[in-house]
Structure 1
Amino acid sequence: MLAINPVAISIGSLEVRWYGILIALGIILGFMIVQREMLKRGMHPDLLTDMLIWAIPISIISARIYYVIFTWDYYRDHPDQIIQIWNGGIAIHGALIGAVITAVIFCKKRGVSFWKVADITAPGLLIGQIIGRWGNFMNQEAHGGPVSEAFKESTVIPDWIMNQMTIDGITYHPTFLYESLWNVVGLILILVIRRTLKMKRGEVFLFYVIWYSIGRFFIEGMRTDSLYVIGSLRAAQLVSVTGIVIGIAILLYRRYVMKVKENYDDKQK
């Protein structure tokens, strides 16, 4: 079976790739879900749109900056390629950092609670990541090391996925799939706990940060295309550990030191 063509549509010299289509689909679907929740929580209908006008381009830029920083040995000698984002080279951690910083500043300017907005947008972020990882599938990237024959014989992963993960005759672990499924479980848990548990404001978002970081830490250890800080220290694993520690620390501080009283579903600013 032939590999899936990463190019969805070709119009002359213009190529529209599945990667871009899936990223756009993730953003649109995430937007629809989050917008509905924001209206339900009594927030201004234009708030999310106004925030995304800033957050999306800034996230793309920060995702590129993150990638360039951790591959500086190459870009130091090829500075003209730093802005050539169309040739690949963005990192989701960089995008998330840029999005959070943008949201903090935006919410402060608008006089709304960042934690309330963050709680509402957390499921949308996961939806975008769940769908976006399939763009890596189309590009045959973000995979792990070669799988064993025993793995091939016992796996329940569909053949059409494993075929796409077979490159030059070698079949690799579909780590994009592992992360996508991990995020699906995280999304389900968020939807359940925010309706069944008495969550304080900010805790849904912090749960997202901790959950994603735990999964990313272990999945990153399987990948063959990691960015490195020093030696064998993977950048994504360092950021993931940082996210776990900071997430837990903020959660405990806000609940037991600050004693935050606002619940997730309150109508206040």
Structure 2
Amino acid sequence: MTGTISRTAFEIFGIDIYWYAIIIVSGVIIAMWLSSREAVRAGLREDDVTDFMLAGLPISFIGARLYYVLFNIGPYLNDPIQIFNLRSGGLAIYGGLIAGGLWLLFFCQRNFIPTWTFLDIAAPSVLIAQGIGRWGNFINHEAYGPETTRSFLENLHIPNFIIENVYIDGAYRQPTFLYESVWSILGFILLIILRRKKGLFKEGEVAISYVIWYSFGRFFIEGLRTDSLYLFSSIRVSQLLSLVLFLGGWFLLIWRRKKNDRLKDYDRTQGENQYII
């Protein structure tokens, strides 16, 4: 027995529509909506986010897939066509972030948009999208941890439908997807609250704080996962990258402050009559 929740949400013309796709797309839509609202508050156009996402979304998906395939290349060498089988899952968040980040740099330079401002606008929304997207892993019965007991899960006050669905291959599993989802959502809430405090963040520091927050949690959560991608068969790729990003984020935060004492505050009050969130 592997879980209790079907991967299929419904069927259209004989084609199964998976919950995984619905959840991922829902997270992206919410992230776009929140980013668009924040863009106007920060003095940019709402269309800037839409224009960015038109190419940024497919680029990010390609990056997420390539990252997963490159660090799990064995099965795909035997059956290369499976590289394009996204319906079975196999997307790596870090790959999507790397590809999307490179596109963002190009997009901002081409459209004369301040890069750090755009990153600050997007960062919290990316966190909520990640938090939502992890539930796609839950439905797919992936991104779980080692064996545990039902009593351990019940003591965490986890809802029963989650406990039942992490009964995989004859054992209850640590719901690492849930740990990361909660961590990402908490980070989102924290950043949008702190972002409203005038003068707290300098330009670029919302984005850097996102990197520090997410990489810190991911480092420990990745250490629990049983489906990690490995480098040289012994180093968890995402754990190593998390460590680099965490240390790099703190270095960049401190270095920017020391190098330039005239950094602009992150200003989210340039738009008029905007929303509260």
TM range, smaller chain: over 0.9
Partner of 2:146: 145
Quote the sequence identity (%): 43
Partner of 1:170: 171
Partner of 1:74: 75
Letter in 2 for 1:61: I
Partner of 1:235: 237
The worse-fitting range, judged by mean Cα deviation, of 107-116 and 165-174 is: 165-174
**In structure 2, distance between residues paired with 1:72 and 1:168:** 24
Verify the 8 A CA contact 1:134 1:177 in the aligned structure 2. yes
Distance change (3 Å), C-alpha of 1:84 and 1:208: same
Verify the 8 A CA contact 1:200 1:260 in the aligned structure 2. no
Letter in 1 for 2:219: F
Deviation at 1:34, TM superposition (A): 1.0
SS in 1 for 2:192: helix
Counterparts of residues 79-94 of structure 1 (less than 5 Å):
79-94=80-95
**In structure 2, distance between residues paired with 1:139 and 1:77:** 23
Distance change (3 Å), C-alpha of 1:182 and 1:266: closer
- Equivalenced residue count is 268
Deviation at 1:41, TM superposition (A): 1.6
Deviation at 1:266, TM superposition (A): 6.0
SS in 1 for 2:16: strand
SS in 2 for 1:8: strand
Deviations 1:77-115 (A, max 9, x none): 333332333333211100011111110110011111110
**In structure 2, distance between residues paired with 1:228 and 1:159:** 32
Letter in 2 for 1:79: P
**In structure 2, distance between residues paired with 1:5 and 1:73:** 28
Verify the 8 A CA contact 1:143 1:176 in the aligned structure 2. yes
TM-score, normalisation: structure 2: 0.91
Name the structure, 1 or 2, with higher relative contact order (CA <8 Å, separation 6+).
2
Verify the 8 A CA contact 1:30 1:125 in the aligned structure 2. yes
Verify the 8 A CA contact 1:63 1:93 in the aligned structure 2. yes
Letter in 2 for 1:46: D
Deviation at 1:177, TM superposition (A): 0.6
Verify the 8 A CA contact 1:144 1:173 in the aligned structure 2. yes
Verify the 8 A CA contact 1:130 1:181 in the aligned structure 2. yes
**In structure 1, distance between residues paired with 2:11 and 2:84:** 23
The worse-fitting range, judged by mean Cα deviation, of 75-84 and 176-185 is: 75-84
Counterparts of residues 100-119 of structure 1 (less than 5 Å):
100-119=101-120
**In structure 1, distance between residues paired with 2:6 and 2:80:** 30
Gaps of 5+ in 1: none
Distance change (3 Å), C-alpha of 1:51 and 1:260: farther
Partner of 2:275: none
Distance change (3 Å), C-alpha of 1:76 and 1:260: farther
Partner of 1:212: 214
Deviation at 1:31, TM superposition (A): 1.0
